[in-house]
Structure 1
Amino acid sequence: MSWQAAVETTVTGLGYELVDCERSAGGLLRVTIDKLQAQAEAGELITVDDCEKVTRQLQYVLEVEGFDYARLEVSSPGLDRPLKNAAHYARFTGQEIDITLKLPFQGRKKYRGVLGSQPGVESDQAWRLVFDDGAAEQALDFTLDEVREARLVPAFSFKGRGGEPAPDRKPGQRGVIKPKKAASKKQEGGAEAAAPGQDKVDGGLKQ
């Protein structure tokens, strides 16, 4: 069993969603957890107690499995939650996200808009971002392997804006949908880093 599999099995076995896990060169093992979708939609948030519960179990499992690490950090995903896989994109369809592309499109890599599926395309890897360039509302069609990073925008969700394509657009095309200006506000939140050599738990989202 790999350390990634051990972490995922432990987190899901305790009744949480594993949002992300990464291991740095310095030995930091960072694990991000969230409530399951039904619980989150009911308003439940990750708390410090949740993080402590997962931390204790992970410490035990990692020791038993013999996985070496310098420090363990378990935290909530924050308001700007990362989107890491197709299930995350499906869960947050209709919400505003920030994406950074691996390669620039029309001279830029970073886009902010409302996430939606590509009409007429049956694939959990193909998505659409509806955004405002200051003059008109446009659609950017992309696949997950084109994305370097994607995160939720911690602001009001404009549901339902990304669903209808322009009548003359074919699936996979990028272009103008309709003239319309929109404004959005971004709030930022974060957590302080733990001191070296200490395992860290972080929970309780500020909203």
Structure 2
Amino acid sequence: MSKVTDIVEELAVPILDDLQLELVDIEYVKEGKNWYLRLFIDKENGVDIEECGIVSERLGEKLDEMDPIPHNYFLEVSSPGAERPLKKAQDFTKAVGKQVNIKTYEPVEGEKEFEGKLTEFNGETLKIDVKIKTRTKTIEIPYNKVAKARLAVVF
């Protein structure tokens, strides 16, 4: 049997395509004694609560029909928020010019965490301008070394 998130993605993508929405991420996690199935969706100018409700209703119907999850869970559909995760190559391409936070699997130039402006992404390497005291340094991070990435909130 496929992972729950894979099955949910198969069910959700046609619904989202129909509504011209993008699937950002899916989480299926246990918190305390409860299971949560979370979908994070977005579009160019952000999603509103009504769109989240429509997706939740349509996906809920499909999940009830197929019944791929053997126990009770809570379905949550929401925007990814200001600190949107960057998962796919296209996410990084869209994030060029924005502030990002990157964590790597192994050190790059002696560090495993970087925050700065993503200035370039060519599919294999990210270039990030990070501030070090009074100067800016460009760090090149191999895409295959990125463990976790998200947009960073700038104040």
Question: TM over 0.5: same fold?
Answer: yes
Q: Is the 8 A contact 2:85 2:149 kept in 1?
A: yes
Size of the alignment, in residue pairs? Answer: 145
Quote the residue 2:59 is aligned against: 58
Once the two structures are superposed, the pairs formed by residues 67-146 of structure 1 within 5 Å of their partners are: 67-68=68-69, 70-117=73-120, 123-146=122-145
Long gaps (5+) in structure 2: 1-5
Report the residue type matching 2:81 in the other structure: G
Out of 26, 38, 41, the residue aligned to residue 33 of structure 1 is 41
Distance 1:54 1:79, change over 3 A: same
* Whole-Å separation in 2 of the counterparts to 1:116 and 1:50: 32
Aligned counterparts of 2:9 and 2:142: Cα–Cα separation in 1: 24
Asked whether the equivalents of residues 100 and 152 of structure 2 are also in contact (C-alpha less than 8 Å), the reply is yes
Aligned-residue offset at 1:14: 2.1
Secondary structure of 2:50 counterpart: helix
**CA displacement at 1:135 relative to structure 2:** 4.1
Is this contact kept in 2: 1:86–1:125, CA < 8 A? Answer: no
Amino acid at match of 2:145: E
Moved over 6 A (4+): none
- TM-score (normalised: structure 2): 0.83
Unpaired runs of at least 5, structure 1: 156-184, 186-207
Identity %: 26
Equivalent in the alignment of 2:48: 47
- Give the TM-score normalised by the residue count of structure 1: 0.64
Instruction: Show the counterpart of 1:188.
Output: none
Higher strand share: 2
Show CA shifts across 1:114-162 (max 9, x none).
11226xxxx423221111111431111123221111111222xxxxxxx
Q: Distance in 2 between matches of 1:60 and 1:75?
A: 17
CA RMSD of aligned residues (A): 1.9
* Larger-Rg structure: 1
SS in 1 for 2:83: coil
Cα pair distance change 1:103/1:31, threshold 3 Å: same
